Amino acid sequence: MIKHLLAVTAFVVVATAHAAPQETCLTNELEAGSITAQIALAAGNCHLAQASDDTQRIVALEYAHSWFLRALALGASQAREGLDRVERGLAQVAQENRYALRN
């Protein structure tokens, strides 16, 4: 059972870390107790990569934010950089929306 869980965890980490923007990222498919800091970081990075697609930008940034917060709570100090990138992305979206409303 433990070997199976470790194998599945390793697969998920590798799959999300190598996900391209058009691929599906983790959302909430895992049990909360099985999520490690590395899995949360990989999921956050996957969603951050998807934020380059304008049709899913806000949703992708929101998921990335959530995963980076979870990674930070689990002790991954690298998550702070991801959170900063997400916050810059959300600020840019807000700025673009304000500009679009004025014109």
> Which residue, 33, 32, 31, 36, is CA-closest to 13?
36
**Which residues are CB-contacts of 8 (< 8 A; sequence separation ≥ 6)?**
none
pLDDT, tens digit (0-9, with 9 covering 90-100), for 60-98:
999 999 999 999 999 999 999 999 999 999 999 888 888
Question: For residues 89 and 76, is the Cβ–Cβ distance under 8 A?
Answer: no
pLDDT at 51 over 80: yes
pLDDT at 9 over 70: no
**Which residues are CB-contacts of 91 (< 8 A; sequence separation ≥ 6)?**
none
How many domains does the chain fold into? Answer: 1
Q: How far apart are CA 81 and CA 90, in angstroms?
A: 14
pLDDT, tens digit (0-9, with 9 covering 90-100), for 13-35:
445 444 444 568 887 777 878 89
pTM above threshold 0.85: no
Domain enclosing residue 7, as ranges: 2-102
Least confident of 10-14, 47-51, 52-56: 10-14
